Chains A and B, each alone.
Chain A
Amino acid sequence: MAEFESHSPGETERIAAELARALEIGDLVTVSGELGAGKTTFVRGACRALGVTAAVTSPTYAIGNRYRGRVDISHLDLYRFDSMSERDWGDLEEYFDGAIAFVEWPEVAGAYLSHARTRVRLRLDEDTHRLIEVQSA
C-alpha cells in the first residue's frame, strides 16, 4: 500500500496520472472517499494521463460516462444507489468491457467489484490536505 499527500487538485491529478500509467484494458480501479474528497479530480488526472481530452466531470447523475483516450475509459459513480441489485449491475456490466474502469462510491456494489486491481481511498484532512491511499491487488 502506498500513501500520498496532496495539497491541490493539480497534485491529486498528478498522483492519479502516475497510477494510470500501469493500467491496462480490463483493469478496475475503485475510488472511495467522502463528499468533496477529490474522487472525480483523481479520476480526471488518470484520464488525462490516458489521453482523454474531453471534460471529465462527476457522473453522479448519469451513473456512467465513457471516454475515449489512448484506450476506452469508463467512469462510474454509484452514489445514487442505496443498494445494488443484479439487474442494476446488469446495466453497468458493459462499461467494464474493453475499457479501463474507475468506480466512485464503490461500497454499495461490494462483491461485484471484488476483482478491483487497485483501490484508492481519499480522505480530507483537517487543513484541506488530502490523504490518498492506493492499494493494489
Chain B
Amino acid sequence: MEKPDREAARVAGAGPLILGLETSCDETAAALVTRDGRILSNVVASQAELHARYGGVVPEVASRRHLELVTPVVEEALARGKKTLHDVETVAVTRGPGLIGALLIGVSAAKALAWSRRLPLVPVDHLHGHVAALYLDPEQVEPPFLCLLASGGHTLLLEVAEKSGFRVLGRTLDDAAGEAFDKGARLLGLGYPGGAALDRLARMGDPEAYRFPVARVPGLDFSFSGLKTALVYAVRGLDAGELERRRADLAASYQRAIVKALVEQTLAAAKSGKASRIAVVGGVAANSELRSAIPDAALAPLDLCTDNAAMIASAARFTPATPFPEYLALDAYASAA
C-alpha cells in the first residue's frame, strides 16, 4: 500500500473524484480515483489486516462481514485521500458477477452514498474492472490490446478495442486458472489458498519431471479440470515419503502445464491478429513463470491485479452513469451473461 501522504500530495487539487466500492467476493474495498486515472487511495480490507485492526471480525465469507466493513473502508479511503464526500462527484460499484448477498451490500451502500448527495451512480461489471486496472497511473495502457484475465474466479481472453468494454474471445470451460493453482496446492499439501506457495516451490523443481496434459480445447477457450484430475492420480500413486521427495517436481510440472495453456491460447489469439499488444490482469498475473513467459506483456501492479475498488472506479470513467434517482431500482447480478 502506498503511503497516503504521498498519494494525496501527488494529486493535490485533483478534480472531481470517483468513489469506487467492491464487495463481489471476499474483499471489502473502497477507493478514490480521479477522472484522469490517478489513485488517491485504494483500501482493501484483507481478512488478516482487519482481524487486527477492527478486532473480532470473523474471517468468513458472509454478507454481514461486508456490511460491518463497508463503512469503515469508505471512511478510510476518504481519510487516506484527505478528502470528504463533498469532493466526490460520482459513486461507482461492482454490480456483478459475484455472490449475490455480498454484491447487494456494496450496491446498497453505493446507492445510499450517492442518494445522500444526489450524485450519479455507475454500475460496473467486475470483469471490466479488472481490465480497467490497466487504465490507471502510473502507466496507463491504451487499447487496442489483447487481455488475459486470470484470477481465482475467472479466466478469460478478451479483445479490448476501447476502454468502455471488451469482447470475450475465450474463457475457461471449467476451473479458473487461479483455482487450478490453489487446488493443486492443496493436493500437494501446501494449504489453501496456496497458489503463491506452489509458485515458490515450483522454482525448486523440474518442470519436465511429469507430463501433465495441456488440454486442447477448440477455439480460444481453456480447460483446467483434467489437469487437476491428473495431479490427483499422480499424488495418489505416491506414499508420504515419495510425495515429499517429488513435491517440488510435481509443483513445477503442474505449474508449467497451467502456464503453458494460458500462454499458448494467448499467443494464438495474438497471432490470429486480434491485437498485437498483450496485457495480463487478475491475481494469477502474480505468478512468476507466467510473468516471464510473456515478457512484453503489460502488467497491472500487483495490488491492482487482485480484487480492489480502484479498478472499479477506473472502469466507471468509461461507463455511462445512472442519474439520480434512477439507480434506486438497480439490482445486482450473480452470473456473467
Q: Do these two chains really belong together in a complex?
A: yes
Query: Interface size class for chain B?
Result: 35 or more
Chain A nearest CB, measured from B174 CB (Å):
6
A34, A63, A94 — most chain B CB neighbours (10 Å): A63
- Are B171 and A94 in contact (CB-based, < 8 A)? no
Residues of A participating in the B interface, judged by any CB pair closer than 8 Å = 34-36, 38, 40-41, 44, 54-55, 57-58, 60-67, 80-81, 85, 87-88, 90-92, 94-95, 124, 128
A88-B63 Cα distance, complex, nearest whole Å: 8
A-B contact pairs, 26 of them (CB 8 A): A35-B187, A36-B228, A36-B232, A40-B174, A41-B225, A44-B174, A57-B173, A58-B175, A58-B176, A61-B178, A61-B179, A62-B153, A64-B334, A65-B97, A66-B335, A80-B61, A85-B60, A85-B62, A88-B60, A90-B62, A91-B62, A91-B101, A94-B101, A124-B229, A124-B232, A128-B229
Q: Is B64 an interface residue (CB 8 A)?
A: yes
| Residue B102 is within 8 A (CB to CB) of chain A in the complex | yes
Return chain B residues, CB-CB under 8 Å to A88.
60-62
Q: Which residues 167-191 of B have a CB within 8 angstroms of A?
A: 171-176, 178-179, 183, 186-187
CB <8 Å contact, A55 and B101:
no
Residues of A close to B48: CB separation below 8 A: none
**Is there a chain A Cβ closer than 8 Å to B8's Cβ?**
no
* A34→B231 CA distance, assembly (Å): 12
Using Cβ atoms and an 8 Å threshold, which residues of chain B touch A40? 174-175, 225
Query: B residues within 8 A CB of A55?
Result: 171-173, 336
Closest chain-A Cβ to B293's Cβ sits at a distance in Å of 23
B72 proximal to A (CB < 8 A): no
Partner of A34, one of B171, B179, B225, B232: B232
Please give, as numbers and ranges, the residues of chain B lying within 8 Å of A94 by CB-CB distance.
100-101
| Contact between A57 and B172, CB atoms less than 8 A apart | yes
